[in-house]
Amino acid sequence: MRKGISLVMASLVLRLALALAAPALPVTGAAPIVFGVVLVGPHNDHGWSEAHYIAAQYAEAKMPGARMIYVDSVNPAAKPGVTV
């Protein structure tokens, strides 16, 4: 039992060392990432819609080349002509 645990731990340490030592792949001419957010309520409702909107802005700021598009208040009562 003890030998098995030692082998598992050694395997995990070796995998971690290899993962940390591997160089990162260079980004060469990557296409821009465009992602969309569909919000049921307004983007500034101080609730779930605003939380998702802020998270999408954060993701857009952290990912180089990313662009966010969004549509808010997508429900029949607020905008009768909008469908997804």
- Residue 81 in any domain: the answer is no
% of the chain surpassing 70 pLDDT: 90
In this structure, what token pair is assigned to residue 38? 């569909």
- Residue 79 in any domain: the answer is no
Of the candidates 26, 68, 72, the one whose C-alpha atom is nearest the C-alpha of residue 49 is 72
Structural domain boundaries enclosing 22: 2-71
- Residue 78 in any domain: the answer is no
Which tens digits make up the pLDDT trace of 29-60?
Answer: 678 899 999 998 899 999 999 999 999 999 99
- CA–CA separation, 35 and 62 (whole Å): 13
- Residue 76 in any domain: the answer is no
- Residue 83 in any domain: the answer is no
Q: What pLDDT, on a 0 to 100 scale, did the predictor assign at position 28?
A: 64
- Residue 77 in any domain: the answer is no
Q: What pLDDT, on a 0 to 100 scale, did the predictor assign at position 79?
A: 76
| pLDDT over 90 (residue 80) | no
pLDDT band at 81 (very low <50, low <70, confident <90, very high): confident
- Residue 31 in any domain: the answer is yes
Q: What pLDDT, on a 0 to 100 scale, did the predictor assign at position 27?
A: 60
As for how many domains the chain has, the answer is 1
